[in-house]
């Protein structure tokens, strides 16, 4: 399927990723129609249309599908029932299977393990008794993570001894979870891969990522030697994952660089915070190539545009430093139009060296 410029792309979710997808789409001559339960969001200011409706509103979903030529999404926690309705009316790219796997931690880890990748030791848990059994097997330190709806460190509780099991279970409110063992690693990195319907893939340089309080702080390319030595193996695994899912569009796989090779952490079937550097730092950004792939267009080159590139997230009050950031003529500032709130991703700044 080729969707020509001038057509309308439907985007589920109206956050900053939807905003940057809509900007990339507009540069290629497409209109964007956002569907989200909220009345506004970062994508509001740059999209042609906005449908405010719940994901359980069958009539609104049908009207949305009729108004667009393809549907994509900016986050993976779209209710499955909404996708079931949409896919009978309009192509969804990436497809529903990518969401079904990536939105549940044990599914994505099991898929990666079946494809020959390594993960941290893990056990699915759905009760306090199962948590006790899993903890006895995996040991300490370990981390309890909700199976779905967790991001930026949310829905996670660290466990250092058995005395914390009951309070941890209460903290996740009895939601289905995964207990994971800790992994000793030298660095964190991600693979950004865009796959076309033909199976062709475009891959960017592997960014090394640093997190603070569970939120991405910086992404840097090129990564250090510890990451570069493992990037090829990680990219090969990401390709196998994309092929297994018949994925169309951007797929992000996050890894730990360990002493004995890469260990898979998690995936996102969408554009990703660790790829924001590609807007100025690559010939074609992750956002543009995602739009190209879901519309059936040829993908663009991914070579980086500088010797070294660093993307830094602006969290909460960091966004109020915009004047100081703009005083640096080499800084490329992106603000998402949000109200400042502690711990909230307000924007990012990219520097090319």
3-state secondary structure the chain: CCCCCCCEEEEECCCHHHHHHHHHHHHCCCEEEEEECCCCCCCHHHCCEEEECCCCCHHHHHHHHHCCCEEEECCCCCCHHHHHHHHCCCCECCCHHHHHHHCCHHHHHHHHHHCCCCECCEEEECCHHHHHHHHHHHCCCEEEEECCCCCCCCCEEEECCHHHHHHHHHHCCCCCEEEEECCCCCEEEEEEEEECCCCCEEECCCCEEEEECCEEEEEEECCCHHHHHHHHHHHHHHHHHHHHHCCCEEEEEEEEEECCEEEEEEEECCCCHHHCCHHHHECCCHHHHHHHHHCCCCCCCCCECCCCEEEEEEEHHHHHHHHHHHCCCCEEEEECCCCCCCCCEEEEEEEEC
Asked whether residue 165 is domain-assigned, the answer is yes
pLDDT of residue 180: 92
| Nearest-angstrom CA–CA distance, 127 and 141 | 20
- Has residue 103 been placed in a domain? no
Packing angle of the helix pair 105-114, 225-245 (nearest 10 deg): 100
On the CB side of 352, how many CA atoms lie within 13 Å of its CA?
Answer: 15
The whole-angstrom distance between residue 91's C-alpha and the CA centroid of its chain comes to 21
Q: For residue 198, what pLDDT is reported?
A: 96
Q: What is the pLDDT of residue 293?
A: 98
Counting the structural domains of the chain, the total is 3
- Expressed as residue numbers, the domain containing 128 is 121-181
Residues 205 and 173 in one domain: no
pLDDT at 153: 58
Residues 148 and 219 in one domain: no
Q: Rounded CA gap, 139 and 110, in Å? A: 20
Q: Please give the Cα distance from 231 to 223 (Å, whole number).
A: 9
CA nearest to 234, candidates 301, 187, 197, 200: 187
Q: What is the CA radius of gyration of the chain?
A: 20
Residue for token digits 């494809």?
A: 115
Q: Give pLDDT, residue 352.
A: 97
Residue among 33, 89, 34 nearest 59 (CA):
89
| Amino acid 148: pLDDT | 80
Q: Per the domain annotation, does 274 fall within a domain?
A: yes
Using the 3D structure, point to which of 136, 154, 181 is the last residue of a domain.
Answer: 181
pLDDT for residue 168: 86
Whether residues 217 and 236 share a domain: the answer is yes
Q: Please check whether residues 197 and 337 belong to one and the same domain.
A: yes
Tell which phi-psi region holds residue 278, choosing left (phi > 0), alpha (psi between -120 and 50) or beta.
alpha
Give the CATH number, domain containing residue 155: 3.30.1490.20
Quickly count: other Cβ atoms within 10 Å of residue 200's Cβ: 11
How much is the pLDDT for 167?
85
From 132, 155, 181, the end of a domain falls on 181
Q: What is the mean pLDDT of each run of 10 residues along the chain (353 residues)?
A: 97 98 98 96 95 97 98 93 96 96 93 97 90 88 84 75 85 88 94 97 98 95 98 98 98 97 97 98 98 98 98 97 97 96 96 97
């Amino acid at each position: 399927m080729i969707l020509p410029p001038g057509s309308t792309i439907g985007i589920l979710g109206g956050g900053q990723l939807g905003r940057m997808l809509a900007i990339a789409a507009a540069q290629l001559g497409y209109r964007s129609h956002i569907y989200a339960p909220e009345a506004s969001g970062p994508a509001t200011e740059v999209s042609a249309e906005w449908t405010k409706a719940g994901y359980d509103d069958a009539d609104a979903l049908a009207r949305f599908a009729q108004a667009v030529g393809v549907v994509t999404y900016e986050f993976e926690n779209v209710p499955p029932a909404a996708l079931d309705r949409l896919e009978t009316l309009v192509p969804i790219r990436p497809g529903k299977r990518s969401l079904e796997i990536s939105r549940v931690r044990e599914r994505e880890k099991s898929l990666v393990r079946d494809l020959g990748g390594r993960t941290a030791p893990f056990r699915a848990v759905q009760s306090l008794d199962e948590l006790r059994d899993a903890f006895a097997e995996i040991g300490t330190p370990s981390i309890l993570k909700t199976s779905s709806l967790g991001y930026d460190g949310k829905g996670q509780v660290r466990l250092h001894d058995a005395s914390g099991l009951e309070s941890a279970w209460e903290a996740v409110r009895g939601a289905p979870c995964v207990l994971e063992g800790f992994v000793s690693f030298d660095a964190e990195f991600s693979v950004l891969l865009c796959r076309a319907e033909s199976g062709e893939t475009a891959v960017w340089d592997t960014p090394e990522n640093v997190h603070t309080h569970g939120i991405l702080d910086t992404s840097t390319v090129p990564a250090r030697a510890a990451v570069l030595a493992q990037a090829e193996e990680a990219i090969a695994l990401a390709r196998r994952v994309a092929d297994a899912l018949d994925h169309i569009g951007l797929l992000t796989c996050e890894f730990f660089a360990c002493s004995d090779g890469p260990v898979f952490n998690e995936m996102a079937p969408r554009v990703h915070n660790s790829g924001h550097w590609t807007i100025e730092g690559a010939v074609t950004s992750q956002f543009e190539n995602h739009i190209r792939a879901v519309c059936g267009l040829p993908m663009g080159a991914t070579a980086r545009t500088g010797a070294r590139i660093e993307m830094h997230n602006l969290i909460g009050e960091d966004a109020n430093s915009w004047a100081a950031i703009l005083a640096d003529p080499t800084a490329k500032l992106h603000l998402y139009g949000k109200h400042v709130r502690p711990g909230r991703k307000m924007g990012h700044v990219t520097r090319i060296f």
